[in-house]
């Protein structure tokens, strides 16, 4: 993008080098076994990636939303699972806490999270409350100097191996009485539920969190009681912009794999790259990737420059995620088509790209819910 700074270029280069040298050799095995390598986080910490949106006074590198989206793209181009776990940690836990937490909470939790010692996540979704997040039933009641938290969270990225979670729960009777709590894995009454087996993003653990009379110190309430709805929505806006970087990475890798294969594969006495129907799939994919990249990075730049009010960021976040996620699935599917039978096998990575891309149309708001948000903008509630 014309507005990328030297700092942005450097972060892209160092993330790409890390992804190629560390993630690439292992992703097929981790995808196959649904494994996870905790050490990745320590290595990303050394590159300054874990506190990428956090002010320097709290140990972050304070590079903003554009830089965070660049890292998502570079990780996503090689290993979308690690990109997703990185997003859950860096944006959904670290950034949310840095934006909404008290000075004491930031001092307690950010250093360990930014150094990669602790891995974090965010818990909003429940078994009965997905798109309709306000239907959440997890609840917390104050008892003296602590809150007693009960409920189950579902589909939580970095569950199973996570150390600390940013948890939303109901603290009153009203639909909007939602509060946020920082919950450490060793708090009494908190345990991990089952780990989910998935079609894609298999090297990013997803699971349940179970709270049974979980005791949370009152100082771990983030902000004021019952006042989290605004934060929750704003946090989703930056999540939707940055997660779109993963869609960009998957699409770019898909186009690159298709180009390489089309030059090498010969049928009817010539490389399949000479067939116009093959050229069409690849060229359409490249153009769609570049158009999405312009849209996504423009949104990230507007976020960094504070040009988006609450309404603007809600609509733009929804649109860029919708467009980029649909684009990534289509481009990955076409890459499989370009590779023919081999594209359908695990000999080549394009089938993984397609499995991973599909999540982008579901997590952080399904395509349908994003359309609902934009339709509300157009037609009112
Ligand atoms: C791999 C993975 C990682 C995730 N990570 C996290 C995480 O870290 N933290 C977290 O809190 N959540 C996480 N999620 C949850 C994710 O955000 C939800 O899956 C998503 O919001 C959809 O909710 P749901 O799955 O309950 O689907 P539902 O809400 O039950 O939707 C089912 C279908 O109905 C459609 N639908 C629902 N309402 C409407 C409507 N009003 N109009 C039209 N169509 C509608 C949906 O679009 C969808 O097609 C993750 C999910 C996955 C799969």
Bridge partner list, 151: 211
Q: What is the pLDDT of residues 174-204, one digit of tens each?
A: 989 999 999 999 999 999 999 999 999 999 9
Local confidence band at 145 (pLDDT 50, 70, 90 cut-offs): very high
Among 131, 154, 193, 376, residue to substitute to test ligand 1 (most atoms within 8 Å of Cβ): 131
The pLDDT of residue 104 is 98
Q: Is the CB of 368 under 6 A from ligand 1?
A: yes
As a whole number of angstroms, the distance between CA 15 and CA 264 comes to: 29
Bridge partner list, 209: 153, 192
Q: Is 239 a catalytic residue?
A: yes
Residue nearest to atom 43 of ligand 1 (CA): 368
The pLDDT of residue 79 is 98
CA of 47 to the centre of ligand 1 (A): 32
Instruction: Count Cβ atoms within 10 A of the Cβ of residue 216 and give its class: 0-12 exposed, 13-18 middle, 19 or more buried.
Output: buried
Q: Is the pLDDT of residue 381 over 90?
A: no
Residue nearest to atom 27 of ligand 1 (CA): 130
Local confidence band at 151 (pLDDT 50, 70, 90 cut-offs): very high
Q: Quick one: which atom of ligand 1 is closest to the CA of 368?
A: 47
Q: If you write DSSP's letter for every residue of 166-212 in order, what string do you get? A: EEEEE-SSSTT-EEEEEEETTSTTEEEEEEPP-SS-TTS-EEEEEEE
Q: Is the CB of 278 under 6 A from ligand 1?
A: no
The domain segmentation of the chain, as residue ranges, is 6-119, 121-222, 229-379
The pLDDT of residue 274 is 98
pTM above 0.85, yes or no: yes
Averaged over 90-114, what is the pLDDT? Answer: 98
Apex 201 CA angle, 287 and 252, nearest 5 = 20
User: Coil, strand, or helix at residue 127?
Assistant: coil
Averaged over 343-359, what is the pLDDT? Answer: 98
The rounded percent of the chain whose pLDDT value lies above 90 is 97
Bridge partner list, 129: 126
CATH topology of domain 121-222: Butyryl-CoA Dehydrogenase, subunit A; domain 2 (2.40.110)
As a whole number of angstroms, the distance between CA 337 and CA 227 comes to: 49
What's the helix, strand, coil split of the chain in %, to 5? 55, 15, 30
Residue nearest to atom 23 of ligand 1 (CA): 130
The pLDDT of residue 46 is 97
> Shortest CA distance to 93 belongs to which of 3, 5, 183, 30?
183
The pLDDT of residue 309 is 85
CA of 134 to the centre of ligand 1 (A): 13
Q: Is the pLDDT of residue 310 over 90?
A: no
Q: Is the CB of 122 under 6 A from ligand 1?
A: yes
CA of 264 to the centre of ligand 1 (A): 40
- What value does the mean pLDDT of the chain take? 97
Question: Looking at domain 6-119, does it have CATH number 1.10.540.10?
Answer: yes
Domain 229-379: assigned CATH number: 1.20.140.10
Averaged over 313-323, what is the pLDDT? Answer: 96
The rounded percent of the chain whose pLDDT value lies above 70 is 100
The pLDDT of residue 338 is 98
Inter-CA distances, 354 with 172, 199, 311, Å: 42, 10, 32
Could you say which of 73, 74, 126, 239 is catalytic?
239
Q: Is the pLDDT of residue 312 over 90?
A: no
Q: What is the pLDDT of residues 16-50, one digit of tens each?
A: 999 999 999 999 999 999 999 999 999 999 999 99
Inter-CA distances, 277 with 219, 263, 283, 284, Å: 61, 14, 10, 11
Q: Quick one: which atom of ligand 1 is closest to the CA of 366?
A: 47
CA of 11 to the centre of ligand 1 (A): 31
Q: Is 254 left (phi over 0), alpha (psi -120 to 50) or beta?
A: alpha
CA of 30 to the centre of ligand 1 (A): 25
Bridge partner list, 222: 180
Q: Do domains 6-119 and 229-379 have the same CATH topology?
A: no
Q: Is the pLDDT of residue 313 over 90?
A: no
């Amino acid at each position: 993008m014309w507005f990328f700074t030297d700092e942005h270029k450097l972060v892209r280069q160092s993330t790409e080098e890390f992804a190629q040298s560390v993630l690439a050799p292992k992703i097929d095995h981790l995808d196959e076994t649904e494994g996870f390598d905790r050490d990745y986080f320590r290595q990303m910490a050394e590159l300054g990636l874990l506190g990428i949106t956090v002010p320097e006074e709290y140990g972050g590198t304070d590079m903003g939303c554009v830089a965070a989206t660049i890292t998502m793209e570079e990780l996503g181009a090689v290993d979308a699972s690690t990109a997703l776990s990185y997003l859950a940690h860096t944006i959904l836990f670290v950034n949310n806490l840095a934006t909404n937490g008290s000075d004491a909470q930031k001092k307690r939790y950010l250093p360990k999270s930014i150094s990669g010692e602790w891995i974090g996540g965010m818990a909003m979704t429940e078994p009965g409350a997905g798109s309709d997040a306000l239907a959440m039933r997890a609840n917390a009641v104050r008892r003296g100097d602590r809150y007693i938290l009960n409920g189950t969270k579902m589909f939580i990225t970095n569950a199973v191996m996570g150390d600390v979670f940013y948890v939303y729960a109901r603290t009153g009777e009203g639909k909007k009485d939602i509060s946020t709590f920082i919950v450490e894995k060793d708090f009494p009454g908190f345990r991990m539920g089952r780990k989910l087996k998935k079609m894609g993003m298999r090297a990013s653990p997803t699971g349940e969190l179970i709270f049974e009379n979980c005791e949370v110190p009152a100082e771990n309430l983030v902000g004021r009681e019952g006042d989290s709805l605004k934060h929750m929505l704003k946090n989703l806006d930056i999540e939707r912009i940055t997660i779109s970087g993963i869609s960009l990475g998957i699409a770019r890798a898909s186009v690159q794999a298709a180009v390489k294969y089309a030059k090498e594969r010969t049928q009817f006495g010539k490389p399949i790259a000479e067939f116009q129907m093959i050229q069409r799939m690849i060229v359409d994919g490249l153009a769609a990737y570049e158009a999405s990249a312009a849209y996504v990075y423009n949104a990230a730049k507007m976020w960094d420059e504070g040009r988006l009010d609450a309404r603007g960021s809600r609509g733009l976040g929804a649109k860029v995620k919708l467009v980029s996620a649909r684009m990534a699935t289509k481009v990955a599917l076409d890459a499989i088509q370009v590779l023919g039978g081999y594209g359908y096998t695990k000999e080549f990575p394009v089938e993984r790209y397609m499995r991973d891309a599909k999540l982008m149309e579901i997590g952080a708001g399904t395509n349908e819910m994003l359309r609902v948000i934009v339709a509300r903008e157009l037609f009112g509630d």
